[in-house]
Each structure stands twice: as structure tokens, then as C-alpha cells.
Amino acid sequence: MLDDLMHLVRGMGVTFGTMFKKPVTIAYPEVKRPVSDRFRGRHELKRYDNGLERCIGCSLCSAACPADAILVVPAENRDEERYSPGERYAAVYEINMLRCIFCGFCEEACPVDAIVLEHEYELAAYDRREMLYTKSMLLVPTAAGVGGTPQDTRGRDVPFRMGGMDYFKTPLEVKRALPAGPSSVGAGE
Amino acid sequence: MATNGSAPKLVNVMIDGRPAAVGAGTNVVDAAHAAGVEIPIFCHHPKLVPVGMCRMCLVEVGTPGVDPATKAPILDDEGAPVIKYFPKLMAGCTTVVSEGMHVRTGTPAVAEAREAVLEFLLTSHPLDCPVCDKGGECPLQNLTMRYGPGRSRFVWGEKFHYPKPVPVGPLIALDRERCVLCARCIRFEDEIADDQVLGFENRGRGMEIVSFSDPPLDSVFSGNTTDVCPVGALTTADFRFESRVWELESRPAVCPHCAVGCNIGYDTRHGRVLRVMPREHDAVNEIWLCDKGRFGHGFTTAEGRLTHPLVRDISGALVATTWDDALTRVAEALKRTVAEGGPAAVGGVAGATLTNEDAYAFGRFLRAVVGTNNVDHRPKVIADDSVHRFGAGADTIVHALGAGHAIVVVGLDAEAEAPVLFLSLNKARRQGAALITLSTAPQKLDRHASHLRAVPGSEATLLAALVRAALEAEYEPVDGASVPSGALPNAAVPNAAVPSAAARVLADRLADHGPAAVHGVHPVDPDAVAQAGKALASAGGVLWIYGRSAVDAGLVPLMAAYAAATGQHGRAGTGLVAVGRHANAQGVADMGLTPDRLPGHARVDDAAARERLADVWPSLPSSEPGLDAGAMLAGGVQALYVLGTDPVGDDPALDLRANGVRTLIVQDLYLTPTAAQADIVLPAQSAAERDGTFTSLLRRVQRTYAAVDPVGHARADWKVLRDLAARYGDAESFAAPSDVFDEIARAVPAYAGLSYAALGPAIRTAPTDIFLPFAPLTEARSVSYIGTRYENRHGIGAAWLTPAEATYAAGDTAAHEAVAADGGEDAFAGYAVAADDALHAAAGDDLVLIPTAILFDAGRLVASSTVLHPLVPRPFVAFSPFDALQRGLVEGGRVRVTGAGGTFEAEVVVQDGVTPGTALAPESLGIAVRAAVGGERAGRVRVEVVAAGPIERGASPTPAPRPSSSPSTTATVTPGQI
Ligand code: SF4
Ligand code: SF4
Ligand code: SF4
Ligand code: FES
């Protein structure tokens, strides 16, 4: 009998003891637990420090995606209307977040570090259609760009022409339709 | 292929321990391919002459050693020959195999050489793969992955930079950074297309591809350079940044633009056609396409297309309605017309772009359901049964012909009317075939052919002279003593040894029209005619390829008579080939869309044919021939059904109402000028939206498959006609085009035995033919074709046999001899060896205007392509330099041309090679050229100068570069900013 009581007291002791310990749960959503640096959450489409989009519309993310969640429709940049450095950009970029399994293969496949899985994980919605994340939803603000474009050679000490060959030519008359000969993009002339 | 000569000598070689026996003269790369060993290549291409420029194909080559003293082979202890390897690696593509040659491709030296070549190729190659349109089907990518070093000792900044792509031609963008200088593009244009338009400029690292023609890349085959280019240096304007290649879904089809029947694939994404690629077909287009076929796919989009049936409302405007309503109205209108004027008051005119199924359903509806023989197609090139009786052998492959063959091209501008046939002819010519052209206008083919220029109006006398010269050369020496019976088609006897009675009769009939008779009439040397005749006589086979001009000039009977009399038909490389101006010119004629012929080229009163059709059709039309298209359009019928052709567009002065057509029904893709006059307009499906079959100029029946969804409510023509027939109580309810085709197989004897299954995917036996759904063949098993190319996995179709061939193939000797004895007497009866004097000597100041064909015409099929549209020239008339000088005409000036049937204004072009006294004006450029000469093949016109000097160039005929190709990243964004 007394033995039984002791069992009870010991049990309650654990209970009361725990009441004064620091709790392991947190008061989500008021409080959020930090995620690891390598956490794979909602995607973001990054920009360069000059504000141009990094994405070049190459569709490699879409090819790598095991869930077939990404749609890319490329288009050509024009000088009047430039989205990314170089020739090509993504006119349409969509991720179906209902399909995505957050494997990060797209990030892995991207040759220009444009698509990055960030730390946001609150991705619920009341409507399936809202789960189609469009390019404008995925793009980071213009000011948030980092890094110089591949064409940008500031601070890089590299020769631009092989063997110091300085090569110019007179365009032939018949080539008048073509822009003049070789140039060195970003050589600072 | 029974073409020429004996099989080439075989040479035994050993490649990586695998034996192979290949023809003498084969190079090591192709021999290795035959043995199943890949030797990577960049500059070599099996369709081009090897040049050995890239060194990617370096291998170790050894030959059996020979004792210098005794000249005896050195043998080892076991008696096997000792192989002496060359001390240096050899370029496989330029090394020709020899007996006993050994090749090693797997040695460290070879691997090192390949790594080195790739590393050097990539020293200045940009890191463009992610944005490169070739990426995914790029031989440089693939070979780098397979044989490359995996690392580079050259850093990004050391690369050579050019502005990103420049338009090397109106349709092709060149990215000089990516070029590996293999010269395949240059060699394609030089060797295959015979267009000297591309070349290298500068040397060393500054070497680049330039076009030195004006306008740049002036070739109608320019798209093929992007296929042979082993990198993404040359890419097409229409596909620029449209999609990655692995995202495309490719649908097999047959090109709807001309009668060659090139096999194509519509590469689609999200239901849109993004590009057209060739599918390989060794008997048709090899691996080539012309630019019209490759870039002319704008008609597959919805832009401007009819989406609903249209009928007239009370105010007379065309308004949309339902199919049910429209079809009921059509049936009522036709029934009313028949009730008032009998079946002969109804008629139908079709275009030659319909599939066989649609054409057959059209003829069937009008003949078997409405009961009229007023059925025709336009433009009509096959109007009689000459091709049916004396057609080329079904196994004829034009580009496989060579020495020992003669090809006569009559009244056909091959490059403009059937461009890929031009490539085949050019190849046959390079292989030694004798090429003779006979026409009133100059063409590119003349460069390397014996060209016989006829004066318009007297073509018949020149052809007679040629045939007489051939028969003279062939038969005169034989003494005429004993005359054996007719030479048998398919008989393995050289024709020259068997002078047939018919040939002698023909020779006699033309006795007064020998080469001497052309003197002073035609601008051609009688000796040249005699020479050409000798070439025909000495050839083992004579192939006649003729176009619309030859038909209009009435030349077909004599070609048929010659082919019949000499037994030169029904074998590979002999007989007649008619080249219509539209994709299914042969097929619509086979389907009986001519007023006097039932399906299968039988006359409307042919008892056997009527008996056959009585089993198939609900009823038979009368046995009187009906009206032809011209008569119907001139008001010969009260109700006219126009399917897929635009007579008013071709002759804007044509007013069908005023001519007395009371009910006009038009079924077409667009609201054409003809449709604008119609009471009821029905939306048709384009070639990319429907299943069906086309019959090529070599009579090959090929399947084409739907690639995209129909636009709006457009319906297949056969379905519309089936539903119309149902309103007449016709019980036949075809459920699919294959059902229609099955009925065609019963109605047309030559199509008997054909079915969709028989025309479908060929049975493949080679172990390498793993069935992948239409994958790009840049993999190991296609090394020989490295470059972009698609294998044909959807059947190669079947060419129907002429009666001579069919009876021979069936082993029916009696029937075959009966057919073969047909000396073409009746064919020749239709031939008038006479000159049209009215045309011939153009009196006074008049010129003779000849309507010609042009590839990029102003028709909707071309105009709907945004990249081709700028290439359509403004209407022009070409004069000889002589006439231009006489009349003070200056290139770029403007003239008014007045003929018997009308007048038009056009720009002046001065062109070498035009016969003085004639002027050439392309049809289908939006001016009524043919109407001006009264619908004839040529006519006298008066030419007045409107503007003497060059007028201001509005839409320049020299195309502007595609705006979006403006490439430079540095133009507006300063360096360092981007
Ligand atoms: S994270 Fe994985 S599943 Fe999600 S879009 Fe990227 S590749 Fe696809
Ligand atoms: S040509 Fe080939 S290797 Fe070069 S950038 Fe294009 S895809 Fe890459
Ligand atoms: S453009 Fe292409 S085909 Fe022409 S030389 Fe360069 S790599 Fe070869
Ligand atoms: S050198 Fe042989 S393939 Fe280029």
C-alpha cells in the first residue's frame, strides 16, 4: 500500500520537476525556430548587384526537377528591354509548389545561381492556383541583387586577346549588314 | 537499287579487332561506322567530300608489311601477316581503306590526340551551352563528354570575343565564338546546293565564316547549314530561344509546300509548332529541306485562320454559324441547284494541296453522291494518264542516278518548283548523269547542264528535234533490217540493242523535225541538240522530269511516246515524272479530280473502272466528261464548290458572280479573295492538323500525322464531305482517314494493297535500331551523321507501280507483254509539232511575257511565316540586258505591262540569260501575270516605262535582318554595368 503511494509520489515528482524546466516547444507561429543554413524552403530567383535577373532561361532546373514542377519559357533580350545580362532570359518562370518536393536539384542544376531554395517554409494557401508561384513572386527585389555579372570584369586582371594579338579588320563591303568585327565585351574601351 | 554498273569491289579491313568488308574508296571513318566502331568527327560529313580539317578523327592505321626485297608479305610465326603501323596518327576521314588495313581507335595515343583536339577546340569556346539553341543535340557537347579532357587549362578571360550572333543571312544567325571552323556549312552550300555564298575570312584565331553573296547567304537551302553545323554557331531565326530541344515533342509529317514530299518533323511545345526538322528518307530528301519547308510553318498558328463556318446574313455579311447549320445549307443549295438544272449544274474545283483522303472524298461526293463529272483541280499538271502508263520506275531515286543515266528536265524550274529535287538532280549530275534542260526561261540547273533554250510558242519543235536526234543516234546505224518487238520495261536488255518498231515509227514521223530544223528558230545550236540526243541515246536510262510549262506547251505526249517506244519506263531511272506545283499534285490526279478521269486515271466511260466503282460507290456519274476548272470558273456551273484553292486570288479580275455562279461554297484555311465572294465558307484544317497521305512526284504515298490541335472549329475535309454525303442519305460513314484510305485502295487499282499499316513504321532489323520515341540522333549510332538529323521511324511510304511494273512484279508475263508492247501510238497522236507563230515572232515592239514560278511567293502559306515574309520580293519583270538596253529599262525602274488579258505594273529586273525578246514575270506575287497573257503559258505584251530610274525602295527585296537578332550587349549597357 505504502509502496503504491511512493510510486505515485515519484511519478508526480517527475511531473512537477518538469514544470520548472525550460520547455522545448516554442510558441509557433508567434515564435519561429531558426532553420539551418542549408535548409531548403521556398525558392527565390536571384539578381545581380546591378539589378539584372540572374536567370538566363536555360531550363536546366526544369530538366533536373524530378517532380516536373518547373516551367520555363525563354525569350531573347533586346537592348531596349533587357532582363538579364547576355542574350536570353526567362519570359515565363513558374514553380508548382504543390508538386515540388524541395529536393534542391534545381538549385544544383542552375549554371548562374539564379534559383535558390531559401528558408521560407510557410507555403499554405486556400486555393490550389495560388500555389503556382510565378516569376514575379519568385524574383527578389531589385535592390537585393548580389555579385557581378559574368561579363563584368572589374577588378579582374585578365588579358582579353590571345597572345597580345590586337586584331581589327575592315569589314568587307558585302558584309555591311553585319555589325563590325570582334570586340571584347567589357574590355573597357 | 538497279542503277548503274556492277557492285564496287569490296575491301577487307580490321577495325579494333572487328572485321568489315567495305566498298573500295570508303574512308576509315565510314568503314569503322560499318564495323560498329565510332570514330569521332567534326569536319567530316558522309554527304560531303572529306577535307581533313579538324583532326578529331585521328586513329592508328596499319597495313600488312611487305618485304622490300622480295615484295612478299611479311608473315609472323603463325603465318598471319605482320601489320606495320604508321608512325603517326592518321586522319580517318581522309584515309581510304586498303586491303588488309588495320585500324586501332582505342590506344592511349588516340585518346590523347582526341583530348588535345577537344581542348584546343574549346580554348576559345564560350560557356554558352545553357543558352545555346544547339545545346542538348550538340555534337561538340556530346564528344566533349565522351572524349574530352574534363578540364581546361585556359581561363574564361582568355577567350576571343565577338558580338553575339550576327545575321549571316536573313534566316540564319551566326555566333562566331562557337564556330569550330569545320567548313561543313561552306561545303554544303558549294557541293550540295551549288550556291557559292559562304567562305572563310582572315586566318588563325581571327578566321570566321562570312557570306560574300549579296544579299547575304543567298541560298534557298540555308537552313540545312544549321543541321550540318556540329556546334551552335549557325542557328535558325525562327527557333531562336524558343525552347530547349529536349522539351520538344516531334510529330512526323510530310512537307505540304511542294511535290517532292520531303519527310519532316513538326517540333512542337505546348501545342505550338516551333520548328520544322528534316526526317531522313533515303529515297526522297536524304537529310535536306529547303527553306520554304523549314521556315514556312506559320500557317499552323491561328493567326488569320478561319475558325467557324460562315454564312451570309440578311445584310449580306458573312457571319459565324454552326457546322450543322452550314452543312444543311450547303446540302440544300446543292439539291436545289440539281433540282433546277440537273447534276451538271453543280461543279467542284479543288487545290492540289489536299491529302489523298480529302481529294478522294471530294471526288466521291461530287461524282457518286451529287452525280456530276464537273470535278477538277488547279493548277493542273497531271491532266492525262501519261505518268500512270509510262511513269518512272517506282524504285527511282534521283540522287542515286549517275554515269550511264540521262535526265531531261523539261519546262521546270527545279529550284523554284521542287527545291529538294534540285539537290537530287545536282547530285546525280555530280555523279556523272547527263543532265539536259529544255525550257524557255533560264534556271540555276542550266549552269552544269546541256541547256536547250526554246522560244516560247515553239517548244514542241525543239523537243521534237531532241527526240529525233536521240532516235537517230540510237537506231539509224542498226540498218533497220529485222525489227524485234517492243523493248520490255524491266527487261534486262540494254535498250540500244533492241530497236523497237514503235521507235522506228516515231523516228520516221519526226524525220522532218531533226536538229537542223531548230536552226534560226530557237536560240540554240543544232549541234547542241544533236549532242544532247546522243547523250540520251547512249544512256542506259532516260528520266523525263517535267513541270507545268511543259504541260501547258503540250510536250507531254512526245515524252510519253519516246518513253513508250524505247521501253524506257517503269525501271529505276527511266520514265516520266510530273512535277506539280503543290504537295499532292500527283495524288489529286490519282484520286480522279479531273473532269474526264475516274479515280485511278481511267476514263469516265471506261467500263472496267465503272464496274469496279459500282461496287464501291453508292451510284455512278454519267459517262460523259464534265467541265474543267476554267469552264466552271467561267460560269459553266450554277453551284460551285471550291476546296483549298483560290482562283480569285490568282486573278483578282475574276468575278464568279458576274460569271453566273449562283451558289459559291468555299472551304479553305483563310478568308481568301475567293472565300470573300462565297455564300458559305467552311474552315478547313491545315496540313499540320490532320492525318492523311500525300503522293509525291515520284508517286510515293507517304503518311503525314496531325501535329497540333485544329484551329477553332476547323474540320478535316473528308469529314465535312462525309457529313454532306450523309445529308444525301449516303450510308458510308468513314470514322477515320484510314477508312477513307481503305476505300481508296479498293477504288484505285494502283493503291490496291496499300493501307495505313503498310505505309507506317518500317520493320527494323539492325541491332542498333533501338526504338526510342523520335530521339535526336546525335548518339553513338549516328556518328556518321553527327550534326542534327532525325531518323525516320514512321515509315518510308510506298511508291505505286505503273501497270508495266505491276504486271512484271506479279509475274504475269502475258499481261506484262501486252502493256510493254504499248508503243505510245495514241500518246503521240496528241502531239502537234508546230510553232505558234503568233507568239513566236513577236511583232514590232512587243515582248513575249512568260509567267514563271518563284519559291517564296506571296501565297498565304509563305506569308504566314514571319521570317519568310520579308523574303517575298515585290512584283517584278525580268528582261534580258539586250532588251533593257534597247528600251532604256533600268534595274529598279517601273514598267506597265499590257497583254491580251490585262495589265499590271511591276519593277524592272535585268537578268542575264533571259532570251532577248522575252520577259519573265513570276506568278503568285500578288499581280495577275497569267491573266495578263490570257491564261496561257506565254503571251505577247506591250511594255511601257512608268518610272525610268530606280524607284525608292519601300519594302526592300533585300531582307532586313531580324530585329530581335540585334545582338550586342555593349550597345546600350556600358561595360562593367551588366
Ligand atoms: S526543389 Fe526539386 S522538386 Fe522542387 S522545383 Fe527544385 S528540382 Fe523540382
Ligand atoms: S555549340 Fe554546343 S558546346 Fe557550344 S555552346 Fe552551344 S551547346 Fe554548348
Ligand atoms: S559555322 Fe558551323 S558548319 Fe560552319 S564552319 Fe563553323 S562550325 Fe562548321
Ligand atoms: S579531320 Fe577527319 S573529321 Fe575532321
Q: In this complex, is the C-beta atom of A41 within 8 Å of any C-beta atom belonging to chain B?
A: no
Least confident range from A55-59, A143-147, B666-670: namely: A143-147
Please give the interface size between A and B, counted as residue pairs whose CB atoms are below 8 Å apart: 142
Q: pLDDT higher for B732 or B696?
A: B696
Burial of B714: CB neighbours in 10 Å, binned 0-12, 13-18, 19+:
buried
> DSSP string of B361-412?
HHHHIIIIII----EEEES-S--SSHHHHHBPPTT--GGG--TTEEEEEES-
Instruction: Report the CATH fold assignment for A33-144.
Output: Alpha-Beta Plaits (3.30.70)
User: Which domains does chain B show, CATH number per domain?
Assistant: 10-115 (3.10.20.740), 124-300 (3.30.70.20), 310-382+586-759 (3.40.50.740), 386-579+812-829 (3.40.228.10), 842-947 (2.40.40.20)
Short-list B202, B224, B226, B222, CA closest to B213: B222
Q: Identify which of B168, B213, B976 has the shortest CB distance to residue A186.
A: B976
Q: Which of B127, B138, B235, B778 has most ligand 2 atoms within 8 Å of CB, for mutation? A: B138
Q: For position B157, what pLDDT does the model report?
A: 66
- Is there a cis peptide before residue A29, judged by omega within 30 degrees of 0? yes
Looking at chain A, which residue has its C-alpha nearest residue B212? A174
Say if the Cβ atoms of A149 and B968 lie within 8 Å: no
Q: Which of A101, A118, A121 has most ligand 1 atoms within 8 Å of CB, for mutation? A: A101
A70 lines ligand 1 (CB under 6 A): yes
Q: How far is A84 from chain B (nearest CA, A)?
A: 8
Say if the Cβ atoms of B975 and A58 lie within 8 Å: no
- Is there a cis peptide before residue B484, judged by omega within 30 degrees of 0? no
Residue B479 has pLDDT above 70, yes or no: no
**Ligand positioned closest to the Cα atom of A60:** 1
**Ligand positioned closest to the Cα atom of B148:** 2
Short-list B125, B55, B63, CA closest to B90: B55
Tell me the chain B residues in contact with residue A156 when contact means C-beta distances shorter than 8 Å.
157
**CA-CA distance, B1 to B395, in Å (whole number)?**
7
Q: For position B492, what pLDDT does the model report?
A: 33
Q: Identify which of B241, B244, B976 has the shortest CB distance to residue A154.
A: B976
Q: Is there a contact between A60 and A70 (Cβ–Cβ < 8 Å)?
A: no
Nearest protein CA to atom 6 of ligand 1, as residue = A106
Q: What is the mean pLDDT of residues B298-325?
A: 92
Candidates A76, A153, A176, partner chain B, best to mutate (most B CBs within 10 A)? A76
Q: Identify which of B176, B247, B968 has the shortest CB distance to residue A59.
A: B247
pLDDT band at B601 (very low <50, low <70, confident <90, very high): very high
Q: For position B828, what pLDDT does the model report?
A: 82
Say if the Cβ atoms of B216 and A177 lie within 8 Å: yes
Q: In this complex, is the C-beta atom of A32 within 8 Å of any C-beta atom belonging to chain B?
A: no
Q: Which residues 109-128 in chain B show a CB within 8 A of chain A?
A: 124, 127
Angle at the Cα of B949 (from B943 to B952), degrees rounded to 5? 110
Say if the Cβ atoms of B969 and A86 lie within 8 Å: yes
Q: For position B87, what pLDDT does the model report?
A: 94
pLDDT band at B496 (very low <50, low <70, confident <90, very high): very low
Q: For position A176, what pLDDT does the model report?
A: 36
What percent of chain B stands above pLDDT 70? 89
Q: pLDDT higher for B778 or B354?
A: B354
Looking at chain A, which residue has its C-alpha nearest residue B135? A58
pLDDT digits (tens, 9 = 90+) for B762-816: 544 443 443 333 333 333 334 345 666 667 777 788 899 988 888 888 888 888 8
Residue B441 has pLDDT above 60, yes or no: yes
Q: Compute, in angstroms, the gap from residue A106 CA to the centroid of ligand 1.
A: 5
pLDDT band at B725 (very low <50, low <70, confident <90, very high): very high
Q: Which atom belonging to ligand 1 lies closest to the Cα atom of A99?
A: 3
Q: What is the mean pLDDT of residues A86-114?
A: 95
Q: For position A53, what pLDDT does the model report?
A: 95
Q: Is there a contact between B552 and B936 (Cβ–Cβ < 8 Å)?
A: yes
pLDDT band at B338 (very low <50, low <70, confident <90, very high): very high
Q: For position B840, what pLDDT does the model report?
A: 60
Q: For position B53, what pLDDT does the model report?
A: 92
pLDDT digits (tens, 9 = 90+) for B883-935: 999 998 999 999 999 998 889 999 999 999 999 999 999 988 888 888 888 88
Residue A123 has pLDDT above 70, yes or no: yes
Q: Compute, in angstroms, the gap from residue B148 CA to the centroid of ligand 1.
A: 30
pLDDT band at B715 (very low <50, low <70, confident <90, very high): very high
Q: What is the CA radius of gyration of chain A?
A: 28
Q: Which atom belonging to ligand 1 lies closest to the Cα atom of A70?
A: 5
Burial of B177: CB neighbours in 10 Å, binned 0-12, 13-18, 19+:
buried
Q: Which residues 146-205 in chain B show a CB within 8 A of chain A?
A: 155-158, 160-168, 176, 201-202, 204-205
Q: Identify which of A78, A162, A178 has the shortest CB distance to residue B158.
A: A162
Say if the Cβ atoms of A175 and B211 lie within 8 Å: yes
**Ligand positioned closest to the Cα atom of B54:** 4
Q: Which atom belonging to ligand 2 lies closest to the Cα atom of B125?
A: 4
**Ligand positioned closest to the Cα atom of B199:** 3
Residue B959 has pLDDT above 80, yes or no: no
Q: What is the mean pLDDT of residues A137-157?
A: 79
What percent of chain B stands above pLDDT 90? 63
Burial of B955: CB neighbours in 10 Å, binned 0-12, 13-18, 19+:
exposed
Q: Which residues 80-119 in chain A show a CB within 8 A of chain B?
A: 80, 82, 85-88, 111-112
Q: In this complex, is the C-beta atom of A7 within 8 Å of any C-beta atom belonging to chain B?
A: no
pTM of the model: 0.89
Short-list B432, B373, B441, CA closest to B406: B432
Candidates B153, B196, B211, B978, partner chain A, best to mutate (most A CBs within 10 A)? B978
Q: For position B842, what pLDDT does the model report?
A: 56
pLDDT digits (tens, 9 = 90+) for B679-700: 999 999 999 999 999 999 999 9
Q: Compute, in angstroms, the gap from residue B179 CA to the centroid of ligand 3.
A: 5
Q: For position B733, what pLDDT does the model report?
A: 80
Say if the Cβ atoms of A74 and B241 lie within 8 Å: yes
Say if the Cβ atoms of A87 and B163 lie within 8 Å: no
Q: Is there a contact between B205 and B259 (Cβ–Cβ < 8 Å)?
A: no
Q: pLDDT higher for A53 or B493?
A: A53
DSSP 3-state of B504: helix
Q: Is there a contact between B113 and B149 (Cβ–Cβ < 8 Å)?
A: no
pLDDT digits (tens, 9 = 90+) for B199-218: 999 888 889 999 989 889 99
Q: What is the mean pLDDT of residues B644-649?
A: 91
Tell me the chain A residues in contact with residue B966 when contact means C-beta distances shorter than 8 Å.
78-79
> DSSP string of B629-681?
HHHIIIII-SEEEEES--HHHH-TT--TTTTT--EEEEEESB--HHHHT-SEE
Q: In this complex, is the C-beta atom of B957 within 8 Å of any C-beta atom belonging to chain A?
A: no
Q: For position B841, what pLDDT does the model report?
A: 56
pLDDT digits (tens, 9 = 90+) for B821-854: 777 778 788 888 877 666 665 567 789 999 999 9
Q: Identify which of B131, B246, B968 has the shortest CB distance to residue A179.
A: B968
**CA-CA distance, B661 to B337, in Å (whole number)?**
11
Say if the Cβ atoms of B161 and A175 lie within 8 Å: no
Residue B964 has pLDDT above 70, yes or no: no
B138 lines ligand 2 (CB under 6 A): yes
Q: For position B476, what pLDDT does the model report?
A: 55
Q: In this complex, is the C-beta atom of A177 within 8 Å of any C-beta atom belonging to chain B?
A: yes
Q: Compute, in angstroms, the gap from residue B66 CA to the centroid of ligand 4.
A: 29
**CA-CA distance, B891 to B879, in Å (whole number)?**
9
Q: For position B937, what pLDDT does the model report?
A: 86
Looking at chain B, which residue has its C-alpha nearest residue A72? B243
Identify the sign of the CA torsion B445, B448, B450, B451.
positive
Q: Which of B122, B127, B128 has most ligand 2 atoms within 8 Å of CB, for mutation? A: B128
Tell me the chain A residues in contact with residue B166 when contact means C-beta distances shorter than 8 Å.
178-179
Q: What rounded mean pLDDT belongs to chain B?
A: 86
Q: For position B795, what pLDDT does the model report?
A: 79
Q: Identify which of B161, B210, B968 has the shortest CB distance to residue A172.
A: B210
Q: Compute, in angstroms, the gap from residue A107 CA to the centroid of ligand 1.
A: 8
Q: For position B475, what pLDDT does the model report?
A: 65
